[in-house]
Every structure is written in C-alpha cells, then in structure tokens.
C-alpha cells in the first residue's frame, strides 16, 4: 500500500515520510537547546512564493549560527519533493537546520553533525480570512518585553519564543487576539510570527530594529514602492501606534492582516483600513502570477 501524504509530507533522515510519522531524536540540540534555525515559505495555488528570498534568508541564518545545511539546489529538490508528494496546492513549507545529536558527554557544538528537516503541511493562517475581514484586536504587551537582540539576533529566524508565548497569554487575558512586544527602551518590535506596519499621516511605517526581516514585510515595502506610497523603516516609538490611521500585521502565515483595535481602542474607524485592504489584495494578486511565483509540477 502506498503511503498517505495527504495531511502533509516531511523529510527526515534522508527520506520522505507522512507528517504524522515524522520524528526528531529527543537528544537533538535543536529541541533541547533551541540550537537551530528555520524558515517558512508558502505555496499558493500550486506555486512557491518568493522561494529564492526564503532560501537566501535561511542560508544567512545558518551562517550566523555556524550550522551547515544541504546546498541550495538540494533544499529546492527536497521542498518540491515534500509539496509534490502531499499534493497540497496551498501549503506551509518549513525547513529546519539543527545542531544535531551530541555524542555522550559531548559539549562542543563545533563537533556535532548538524541535521536538516523539512515538511509541507496545509497552509497555516495566523488569522484566517474571516478574522481578517473583521480585523484583529491587538494589545501592546505590558507583562513581557522582547528578548534583547544582543542576546538573540531577531534577524536569524529562531525558536526562542518564550517571550512571544507569554505575550499571547497576556493578549488572551486582555480579550485580544494577539500581541506586539516592545524592546527594553519601549520601541515597538514584532509579535508571534509577524511584523507590524502603521499608516500615519500618509506614510507607511515599520520597525527597523529588533525584528525579523520578514519576506512579507519586504513584499509590502516592494508593493508600496510600486504604488509610490511613502514608506519609512525606522526606530518605532510606541506613540506612533497611537497616531496611526491604520495598523496591519504581516506574515507568510496569513499575509497582510488588518488590526482594528489597539489596547481595546478602535484604530481609525474600527474597521480594516482602505490602504490595508488595497495592500492585502495586491499581496494575494502577486501570488497568482508574476516574478515571485515558482510553479510546482505535481
């Protein structure tokens, strides 16, 4: 009987397995020490979106952490292999490089053979289309701040989510959908799986520092440049959020997601703003055809 990959397909130890059967060794330091990096790329209507940019970011992340991973062409083959086997037209595709499993008593990270994993599962939404139509209720975390970029470089995609998960609990306690964290000086950074934008007095603003350089963030900046919309990437004081006519969040897992309430107060008129809706439409249009799409032959 052939294997059933319809819930997703993983690549582990050089073999493709159904996602429900994929396992990592308990002693992999990616798990026990968060000593790993990853990337996530979307497949939409049967095409990868900005695959090259995701592979570039992953290669840089591996370099920064002194992790080795398969070569670019091999990773391409693997992610196509996962998506093809799953048959998914809309997929969330993750690649992970971990430090690996140390020999008994071994402490020196340089001596451990690194491991590589990949998988494709059905597309993941941070906020689903119905929630996006309504718009999200966002809070600024008060109980937790973002881990210092001097401790964990946020431009290297990582699993150090302790602060972000505490923020999610705070959001739920405050009857909100999600949360954005400030740095130790009170500047706005990012949230659990997304970057943030605000539209203030005709200019689109997004934090420069303390954030992952999201591919969706870059896509919004590219689309805004195409539309000749003024943009600034800046140190983002919290007061800018209070001034904003519109706020939205960006992620590979959900695209451009409107925020309609901030700390319980309406943003603009309390409905998804016109610029946000326009950018959201342009974002999904760019997934259907054009230079950012790489088709999968199933």
Question: Which residues here bind ligand PLP, judged by CB under 6 A?
Answer: 40, 190, 193-195, 212, 214-217, 250-252
The residue among 135 and 254 lying less far from ligand PLP, judged by its C-beta, is: 254
CB of 108 to ligand PLP, least distance (A): 29
Nearer to ligand PLP, 112 or 211 (CB): 211
Q: Least distance in Å: CB of 195 to ligand PLP? A: 5
Q: Which is nearer to ligand PLP, 18 or 153 (CB)?
A: 153
Q: Which residue is nearest to ligand PLP (CB)?
A: 214
The CB-of-252 to ligand PLP minimum distance in angstroms stands at 3
Q: How far is the CB of 161 from ligand PLP (least distance, A)?
A: 8
Map tokens 């303390």 to a residue. Answer: 210
Judged by beta carbon, residue 137 or residue 250, the one nearer ligand PLP is 250
The nearest distance, CB 187 to ligand PLP, in angstroms, is 15
Choice between 101 and 176, CB closer to ligand PLP: 176
């Amino acid at each position: 009987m052939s294997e059933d990959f319809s819930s997703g397909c993983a690549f582990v130890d050089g073999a493709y397995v159904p996602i429900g059967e994929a396992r990592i060794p308990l002693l992999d330091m990616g798990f026990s020490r968060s000593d790993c990096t990853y990337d996530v790329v979307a497949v939409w209507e049967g095409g990868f979106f900005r695959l090259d940019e995701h592979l570039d970011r992953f290669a840089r992340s591996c370099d920064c952490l002194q992790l080795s991973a398969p070569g670019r062409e091999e990773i391409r083959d693997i992610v196509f292999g996962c998506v093809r086997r799953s048959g998914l037209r809309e997929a969330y595709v993750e690649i992970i490089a971990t430090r690996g499993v140390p020999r008994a008593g071994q402490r020196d990270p340089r001596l451990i053979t690194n491991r590589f994993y990949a998988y494709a599962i059905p597309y993941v939404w941070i906020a689903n289309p119905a929630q996006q139509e309504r718009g999200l209720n966002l809070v600024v975390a008060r109980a937790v701040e973002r881990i210092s970029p001097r401790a964990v470089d946020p431009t290297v995609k990582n699993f150090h989510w302790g602060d972000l998960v505490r923020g999610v609990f705070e959001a739920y306690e405050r009857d909100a959908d999600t949360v954005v964290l400030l740095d130790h000086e009170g500047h706005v950074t990012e949230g659990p799986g997304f970057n943030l934008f605000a539209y203030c007095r005709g200019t689109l603003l997004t934090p420069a520092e303390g954030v992952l350089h999201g591919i969706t963030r870059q896509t919004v900046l590219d689309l805004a440049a195409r539309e000749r919309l003024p943009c600034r990437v800046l140190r983002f004081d919290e007061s800018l959020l209070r001034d904003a006519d519109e706020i939205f969040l960006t992620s590979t897992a959900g695209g451009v997601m409107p925020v309609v309430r901030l700390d319980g107060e309406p943003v603009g008129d309390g409905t998804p703003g016109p610029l946000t809706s326009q950018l959201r439409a342009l974002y999904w249009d760019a997934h259907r055809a054009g230079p950012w799409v790489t088709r999968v032959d199933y």
